[in-house]
Structures are given as C-alpha cells and as structure tokens.
C-alpha cells in the first residue's frame, strides 16, 4: 500500500460503491467488516469526507456509535466472495474475518484496522451522524426501502489517511 492524498484520488464516484462495493470496518476491540454499497465521497466543512449509511439493525451500527472511527476498504475483484459473506452474515454471531479469509491490518491514523489487500483504504474519523427522517422524504417510493422502519443513520467521517495498492489505478501517476 502507498499513501495518497485524498485530493489526488481519481475515482468513478457513481461506480465505486454501487458496483464494486466496499468493506466498512468499525470497532476496536472486536472490529467487524460489513459490506456497504450506499454512501458517498465528497467535501464537507472544508474537509474530505466519506459518508456511509448504516441501518440500526446492523451489528456494525453499535460499533460505529461506540467508537468514532471507521475504515472504508475497496477490495480487488477476487474478493467478491468475501464481500458477499460480509454482506449476508452478522458479526454478532460470526467471526467474519476468519469466515471470509480476510485479515485486519493496523491503520496509521485511526485505531480501527483496515483490510489487508484492499485496493483502496480510507481511514476515517467520524465527525457527525445524521438520522434519516422519513418525514423529509420527498419521493414516497423511498419508503419502500424500509418495510421494517429501520431508517439509516449517516456516519460522516473525515478522511484522515488514504492508501492504494500498487495495482490500483488511482490516476495520479498519469499526471
Ligand atoms: C452489496 C451489499 C451492499 C450493502 N450495503 C449496505 C449499506 O450501505 N448499509 C447497510 O446498512 N447495510 C448494507 N448491506 C447489508 C449488510 O452488509 C448486512 O446486513 C450485514 O450482514 C451486516 O453485518 P453486521 O451485522 O456484521 O454489521 C449491504 C449488503 C450487500 C450484500
């Protein structure tokens, strides 16, 4: 992995989470990887931020509330099986690292680990949380996403450090 400034990352913002998915890791004593595909990368309060949306029913939800840091890890294509597993089983009753053949790796700027072998790893400090309020949904079809009324909480994290694998085309070499 090599460090890269967040501002130098050239990514496809509507592809990376939606199509490639990512592993969101929360927790320090017993960190847990969870697959996410909803979220965004951008700028808020003049800082580079990652926003992830987590339902209160996820084990990861409690971990993110207990400790204000997380990592977001985009994995290489060969890890699709691990992403499937981390998106369909819960850390409440499974050691997903072992089950998915994943290895935690110490982060540099936060105490939550990254995922070894990630193509892109973002180390984040949670700056704020926001609860989605169904009363503010302007398109009523959104409500169909919530048959159990488990509306997402947004966790907005400042990117404290970013790392890319040697294989990952972050675009910065091209300039
Ligand atoms: C492709 C994919 C994307 C997902 N994206 C999200 C997401 O953005 N937010 C969320 O709360 N759950 C999402 N999930 C569901 C969680 O990954 C899943 O419920 C997981 O088992 C929760 O793990 P945990 O209980 O260990 O936290 C996604 C699942 C898949 C397969």
Query: What residues does ligand 1 touch, defined as CB less than 6 Å away?
Result: 21, 32, 34-38, 53-55, 58-60, 87-92
Return the pLDDT at 132. Answer: 98
**Pick from 34, 41, 38: nearest CA to 11:** 41
- CATH class for domain 2-165? mainly beta
pLDDT of residue 174: 52
Per the confidence metrics, is the pTM higher than 0.85? Answer: yes
Note the pLDDT of residue 167: 85
Please choose from 36, 39, 97 the residue to mutate so as to test ligand 1's pocket, defined by most ligand atoms within 8 A of CB: 36
Domain-by-domain residue ranges, the chain? 2-165
The distance from CA 34 to its chain's CA centroid, rounded to whole angstroms, is 8
Comparing C-alpha atoms, which of 65, 70, 59, 53 is closest to residue 145?
53
Q: Which residue has a Cα nearest atom 4 of ligand 1?
A: 36
Q: How far is the CA of 21 from the centre of ligand 1 (A)?
A: 10
Query: How remote is the CA of residue 122 from the centroid of ligand 1, in Å?
Result: 18
Tens digit of pLDDT at every position of the chain (175 positions): 999 999 999 999 999 999 999 999 999 999 999 999 999 999 999 999 999 999 999 999 999 999 999 999 999 999 999 999 999 999 999 999 999 999 999 999 999 999 999 999 999 999 999 999 999 999 999 999 999 999 999 999 999 999 999 888 776 665 4
Question: Would you state the pLDDT for residue 90?
Answer: 98
């Amino acid at each position: 992995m090599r460090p890269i400034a967040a501002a130098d990352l050239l990514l496809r913002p509507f592809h990376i989470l939606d199509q490639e998915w990512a592993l969101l890791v929360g927790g320090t004593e017993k960190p847990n990887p969870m697959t996410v595909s909803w979220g965004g990368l951008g700028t808020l309060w003049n800082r580079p931020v990652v926003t992830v949306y987590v339902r209160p029913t996820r084990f990861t939800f409690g971990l993110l509330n207990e400790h204000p840091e997380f990592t977001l890890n985009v994995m290489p294509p060969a890890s699709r099986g691990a992403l499937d597993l981390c998106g369909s089983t819960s850390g409440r009753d499974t050691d997903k690292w072992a089950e998915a053949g994943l290895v935690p790796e110490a982060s540099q700027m936060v105490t939550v680990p990254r995922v070894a072998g990630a193509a892109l790893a973002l180390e984040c400090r949670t700056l704020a949380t926001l609860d989605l309020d169904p009363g503010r949904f302007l398109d009523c079809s959104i409500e169909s996403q919530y048959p159990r009324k488990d509306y997402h909480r947004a966790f907005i994290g400042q990117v404290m450090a970013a790392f890319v694998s040697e294989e990952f085309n972050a675009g910065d070499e091209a300039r």
